[in-house]
Amino acid sequence: MHAECPECGAQIALPDGTLTNEIIACPDCGAELEVVSLDPPTLVLAPEVEEDWGE
C-alpha cells in the first residue's frame, strides 16, 4: 500500500499493519505525517506538539 507525502509528493510505502492515526516519517523529506485514512491511503502533516500539552 502506498500514499503520497503532502509535503514533498514522494510515494511512501506503508508497512503492513499500519493503523489510522499512526505517525510516520517521510523517508525523502523527513516530515512527520499522520495516517488519516487507509482506504484510500491518505497522509497529512502531523500536528505540531505544543509545549503546554497535558499541563
User: Is the pLDDT score of 50 beyond 70?
Assistant: no
Query: 8 in the Ramachandran plot: left (φ > 0), alpha (ψ -120 to 50) or beta?
Result: alpha
Q: At 36, list the grid cell.
A: 488519516
The pLDDT of residue 29 is: 97
Q: Give the architecture (CATH level 2) of 2-45.
A: Single Sheet (2.20)
The pLDDT of residue 45 is: 96
Strand partners, 43: 35
What is the total residue count of the chain?
55
Q: Where are the domains of the chain?
A: 2-45
The pLDDT of residue 48 is: 79
Q: Which residue in 35, 27, 22, 32 sits closest to 10, CA to CA?
A: 27
Match 500500500 to its residue by C-alpha cell: 1
